[in-house]
Amino acid sequence: MIEVTNLNKVYDNGFEALKSVSFNIDKGDLVCLLGPSGCGKSTILNMIAGLLQPTNGDIAFDGKSIVHTEPKDRNIGFVFQNYSLYPHMTVLQNVMFPLSVGNHKVDKKVALATAEKYMKLTKISDIRDKRPGQLSGGQQQRVAITRALVQNPQVLLLDEPLSNLDARLRLSIREEIRRLVKEVGITTIFVTHDQEEALSISDKIILLNDGVVQQDDDPQKLYLEP
Ligand code: ADP
Ligand code: ADP
């Protein structure tokens, strides 16, 4: 479904953050990009989302190259590390937002029904009238994921989605994320530097180091240094 081929990124200061990165992701899989800070995980996500242009190489969805399309013309759900919720909006308004602007704009009634459907799935219906500032980290996380899902994206991108949560929540939320993406059936890329996290939730792990793919395999087959 997603084909990344010889992806290369040289930043303006001359630093080569990615060196010919290639991998494939099957439809419906939950794949982890795993590696230490600075190995290039965010660079890859940002290029898939269209927030950053590759220096060389290609990204294709279902056989069609997307690298020259605008972010708004890609149907991608992005959950940022800090959630990036709109602080002045309620939970419901946050979740409905992608359906009220741009290419995914739909009739208000349809937007409300869609938002309600996904809020039920992520179990946030009861906090719909609260604002982000009144929510716990775990609740904010659920809102951010719900907002990313309402436009029925081709791919869900999660950038270190558990890093701002406390240890207890991290365990339960990662199980929830796995259950949710499998229930929705959405192809998901999950970025983390945490081996255990990657091993526990992914169908496949792409291990990166210094801008190079070191391994790309099932969690059971992956060799990880102790
Ligand atoms: P990760 O997400 O794995 O922590 P990043 O993709 O953020 O890694 O960064 C990969 C490397 O590229 C790091 O060494 C980082 O310092 C560098 N880098 C990221 N953004 C820029 C930039 N705008 N200009 C120069 N170097 C950058
Ligand atoms: P992450 O948490 O994804 O690793 P970072 O904290 O590395 O993100 O980077 C945050 C922002 O700073 C990004 O927009 C990245 O492009 C930019 N950045 C990171 N490293 C550098 C660098 N060496 N030079 C310039 N910008 C950088």
According to DSSP, the residues that pair with 77 across neighbouring strands are 156
Q: How far, in Å, are 97, 105, 200 from residue 1 at the CA level? A: 27, 25, 23
Is a pLDDT exceeding 90 seen at residue 179?
A: yes
Q: What is the DSSP string of 160-180?
A: STTTTS-HHHHHHHHHHHHHH
> What value of ipTM does the predicted structure carry?
0.81
What is the average pLDDT across 99-107? Answer: 89
Q: How far apart are CA 86 and CA 132, in angstroms?
A: 7
pLDDT at position 34 is: 96
pLDDT at position 169 is: 85
pLDDT at position 222 is: 84
What is the average pLDDT across 99-124? Answer: 93
pLDDT at position 38 is: 96
Q: Please give all residues whose beta carbon lies within 6 A of any atom in ligand 2, as ranges.
A: 37, 42
Is a pLDDT exceeding 90 seen at residue 217?
A: yes
Cα(121) to centroid(ligand 2), Å: 33
Global pTM value: 0.91
* Tens digit of each residue's pLDDT (9 = 90 or more) over 36-82: 999 999 999 999 999 999 999 999 999 999 999 988 889 999 999 88
| Residue 194 token pair | 């945490």
Residue 216 binned pLDDT confidence (cut-offs 50, 70, 90): very high
The separation between CA 15 and the C-alpha centre of its own chain, rounded to angstroms, equals 25
Q: Please give all residues whose beta carbon lies within 6 A of any atom in ligand 1, as ranges.
A: 11, 13, 15, 17, 35, 37-43
Q: How far apart are CA 9 and CA 5, in angstroms?
A: 12
